[in-house]
Amino acid sequence: MVAKNSVANQVLEASATLCDAVDRLKFTDPVAYVYNPLRYAWSMHEKYIRTWGDSRRKVLMLGMNPGPWGMAQTGVPFGEISMVKEFMGLSGSVGKPDPEHPKRPVLGMESTRSEVSGRRLWGFFGEKFGGAEGFFKENIVVNYCPLVFMEDSARNRTPDKLPKEESAPLFAACDERLVALVDIYQPDWVVGVGGFARKKLDSLFGPKSPRGKGVLETGHLPGNIGTVLHPSPASPAANRGWAEAAQKQMVEQGVWGG
């Protein structure tokens, strides 16, 4: 029997609230398609949280938003298919976004495409910690924004490229959920995977943020904010040995021991 106020239940409640909030938002050209995997892949996302995210954590790692061949397919952050199946041991059905871009079909766990970022990220964690149980004992990975944005050509468009009138309400909803997750997981460290995520963490929990200044008296304030290089193949630095770079960053910042 699942405890009513379990960590997983609290996390899922916060994410369901975000799912509803972003579904009410409107986006204009050049955004032509918007996928919300928290909606059509909710059952897989729920399995991820219930299986691997049901306790407080020392480290919360934050990505930006789903990739078309990762979380967009599986509902799991950086959710490269083989890693979700083999590393995390998760399986299940995934629905369809509506509308769906013909060049970016959602095939769920049947997808044969591989997301490089997810393969790098989870592959490194698996090697370092000896498997999923070792990694998730003290770490959790979440995404800041749950939406995938695509242009009519199927080109991916990241949230930081949205006009302010569209990004402002989106980021407000995402901020609220992120603050809730930090309050629930009570991490000592929050780590941005890439520059965008790091900026969001600084704005919410850094020394110049309302929490950092003590303006907000309630809620958890992580003691440390870190950064790790994004594993995207679009990053030349990541292509020169992402795992080695990530290991060095995490150790030098003090997030992990050697």
Q: Residue 257 has what pLDDT? A: 86
pLDDT in tens, 200-250: 999 999 988 888 887 766 789 998 999 999 999 999 999 999 999 999 999
Provide the pLDDT for residue 33.
Answer: 98
Domain of residue 232: give its range: 7-253
Q: Which of 222, 145, 231 is nearest to 190 (CA)?
A: 222
Cis peptide before 99 (omega within 30 of 0): yes
| Residue 215 is assigned to a structural domain of this protein | yes
Sequence-separated (6 or more) residues with CB below 8 Å from residue 160 = 64, 167, 196
More confident residue, 165 or 223: 165
Residue 258 lies in a domain: no
Predicted confidence band of residue 3 (pLDDT cuts 50, 70, 90): low
What is residue 1's predicted lDDT score, i.e. its pLDDT?
Answer: 47
Number of domains comprising the chain: 1
In a domain, 149, yes or no: yes
Is-contact 109 85, C-beta < 8 A?
A: yes
108 and 68 Cβ atoms separated by less than 8 Å: no
- The answer to whether position 12 is within a domain reads yes
Mean confidence (pLDDT) of the chain:
95
pLDDT band at residue 50, thresholds of 50, 70 and 90? very high
Instruction: Please report which confidence band the pLDDT of residue 57 belongs to, taking 50, 70 and 90 as the band edges.
Output: very high
Does residue 1 form part of some domain? no
| Location of structure tokens 């490269």 | 80
Whether pLDDT at 12 is above 70: yes
In a domain? residue 174: yes
- Token reading at 36: 């919300």
Percent above pLDDT 70 for the chain: 98
CATH of residue 105: 3.40.470.10
What are 166's two structure tokens? 């569209």
Are 208 and 202 spatial neighbours (Cβ–Cβ below 8 Å)?
Answer: yes
Burial-class residue 243 by CB neighbours within 10 Å (0-12, 13-18, 19+).
Answer: middle
167-188 pLDDT per residue, tens: 999 999 999 999 999 999 999 9
Q: Would you say residue 154 lies in a domain? A: yes
Quickly list H helices, 27-115: 37-40, 42-52, 71-74, 81-82
Instruction: Write the burial class of residue 77 (CB in 10 Å: 0-12 exposed, 13-18 middle, 19+ buried).
Output: buried
